[in-house]
Amino acid sequence: MKNIAVIFGGKSVEHDISIITGLGVVKNLGEAYNVLPIYISKKGTWTFGKELNNVDYFNKENKKQLKKCFFKPNDNHLYIEGFGKKKYEIDVAVNCLHGLNGEDGTVSGILQISNIPETSSGVCGNAICMDKVLSKLIMKASDIPVAKFEFFDILEFTKSKDNIIKKIKDSFGFPFIIKPARGGSSIGISVAKDEKEFSKMVNKVSKFDNKILVEEYFDNFREINLSVFGFKNEILLSSLEEVVGSSGIFDFDNKYKKKANIKRICPAELPKKIQQQILQLGEKAFKLCECKGLVRIDFFIVGDSVVLNEINTIPGSFAFYLWKNAGLTFGRLLTKLIEDSIERNNTQQNLNFEYTSNVLDGITNKDFNVNK
């Protein structure tokens, strides 16, 4: 029986959403696996315990102390503190960490140097897609349509506010979207209607990220979601979903509150030409941004044009709902993710990591005394 580590929580503003995704995975992996939940607290502490299988644990004010856990470099075991030499050999890690310190590739790096297969896009894919500026620059350079955008650092804004405003006005003008460049779950997203609002919004957004993205605002658009799955050298494409909300901007409350007035239409009712364009752009973006495993790509339809908004490398609940028309349950989708991550890791391990050279021949300790 394979040991599957499910990592969730995290030192991120998307902490609570990650808990929902993580518990969904824990509950749906089934009896074919030995599930080992790893919860990372808001302060960044890695913990392990049976209590993590139950959502009630996270709703308690006085939580029972959990055992700390950790990985070691070049060692695919999970070590539990307080149990002597208690450890588990990990076959696969299911990465459920949304946002920074998880979806940005940092935890992927830990798993990679510990020789543990994982289900997400890895260091490179996660890092590219988490930074919306970087991913947009890459897609724009490859003729994938994105909204007009500008970006700046908060330090740059304090020094050159007028120049930044002029640049934005020349590019697309007010109103525009402002948000953290490396954020998720629509936390911190706002619409700036004039310069006064803009300055106020910059102060708000800079609490979440010092790199700030501004994008042109679309008065009328349709939001379409697509999940792309790179499974065993194949690119699988899900059904298309249209998300219809109560307002033009889907902020955190609109997305996740139970009373939110959101309607999901799947499959989306779209002209065949638009459907084909979205599917082709989704596959191209997946390959271009070094994505692996399963991602969700969000598009806007503006008039007759398709615009790629962003790529989520660890979507909430792994966007399993987009795969229902393909006959995949959440459990079966997770099994395929696990199978794919093992195969990808095996391919990686077959690469040659050694190179024999004579570069050290003749070098002595005296050669390092560069200051003499």
Other CB atoms within 10 Å distance of the CB of residue 259: 6
Dihedral sign of CA atoms 325, 329, 334, 338 in order: negative
In the listed set 186, 216, 246, which residue is the last one of a domain according to the structure? 216
Does 71 lie in the same domain as 98?
yes
What are the pLDDT digits (tens) for 6-47?
A: 999 999 889 999 999 999 999 999 888 999 999 999 999 999
Say yes or no: 157 and 238 in one domain: no
Buried b (16+ CB within 10 A) or exposed e, 87-106: ebebbbbbbbbbbbbbbbbb
Cβ-count burial of 53 within 10 angstroms (0-12 exposed, 13-18 middle, 19+ buried)? middle
Domain co-membership, 227 together with 195: no
Residue 293 located in a structural domain: yes
Q: What is the pLDDT of residue 61?
A: 65
- Domain containing 341 — which CATH number? 3.30.470.20
Are residues 262 and 341 located together in one domain of the fold?
Answer: yes
Is residue 41 situated within a structural domain?
Answer: yes
pLDDT, one tens digit per residue, over 192-242 is 998 888 888 898 888 888 999 999 999 889 999 999 999 888 999 999 999
Q: Is residue 355 situated within a structural domain?
A: no
140: which DSSP letter? H
Q: What is the phi/psi pair of residue 119, to 5°?
A: -90, -10
Residues 232 and 179 in one domain: no
pTM above 0.95, yes or no: no
Do 243 and 203 fall into the same domain? no
pLDDT digits (tens, 9 = 90+) for 57-75: 998 766 677 899 999 999 9
Instruction: List the single range of 131-140, 182-191, 222-231, 330-339 with lowest mean pLDDT.
Output: 182-191
Query: By residue range, what is the domain housing residue 108?
Result: 2-118
Any domain includes 110: yes
Element (H, E) at 333: helix 330-349
Interval 88-121: pLDDT, tens: 999 999 999 998 888 999 999 999 999 999 999 9
Those residues whose C-beta lies under 8 Å from the C-beta of residue 127, and which sit 6 or more positions away, are 104, 105, 134
Please tell me the total number of residues recorded for the chain in this structure: 372
Name the 3-class secondary structure at 364: coil
Q: What is the CATH number of the domain that holds 197?
A: 3.30.1490.20
In this structure, are 258 and 316 located in the same domain?
yes
- Give the chain's domain count: 3
